[in-house]
Amino acid sequence: MIFRAAALSAVLMAVAAPASAQPAPKAETPRAPCFRLSDLGGHKIAAPDTLYYSVRRKEVYKFTFSGSCLAGVTNSDPLILEPLGASSQICKPLDLNLGVGGPVSRRCIIKSIERLTPEQAAALPKKLKP
């Protein structure tokens, strides 16, 4: 009888323990920052491999390129933007084809597109704010 009570007590403790020791639910993975080509505003070239774009007039996105695609390019040089695929929704680098127009036109390979937090955008030097 003592053995049964001890066994029952152990079973009840084992059943109750996992309920309180369950891991917290995982936070949702943040969705990729998406925008439409028509949402793009002004841009500023920060470095030969970095470009900042204003999106919907209230957000700033940082485009990083493989190599020095923007070397010798000024903010007034035309940029050629073409969505790839059936949608004009841009969520990842492969959704957009970006090139530089002018006398020496070229295509750029986009390595990453990152939406800056409001704090990061505010911290940009004035000359780099799109």
Letter for the amino acid at 47?
A
- Radius of gyration of the chain measured on its C-alpha atoms: 26
Encode pLDDT of 83-102 as tens digits. 988 888 999 999 999 999 87
- Which range, 5-9, 10-14, 73-77, 102-106, is most confident? 73-77
Please report the pLDDT score of residue 22 as a whole number: 55
H or E, element range at 8 = helix 2-21
Q: For the sheet containing 79-83, what is the strand order?
A: 79-83, 96-100, 106-108
C-alpha of 88 from chain center: 17
pLDDT, tens only, 27-68 = 444 455 799 999 999 999 999 999 999 999 899 999 999 989
Could you tell me which residues come within 8 angstroms of residue 126 by beta carbon, excluding any fewer than 6 positions away?
none
Q: How far is CA 57 from the centre of its chain?
A: 17
Going by C-alpha positions, the residue among 40, 39, 52, 49 that lies closest to residue 127 is 52
Q: What average pLDDT does range 92-117 have in this prediction? A: 91
Query: Is pLDDT at 8 greater than 50 in this prediction?
Result: no
Compute the 3-state secondary structure of the chain and give helix, strand, coil in percent, each to the nearest 5.
25, 35, 40
CA 35 remoteness from chain centre? 11
Where do the structural domains in the chain lie, given as residue ranges? Answer: 35-128
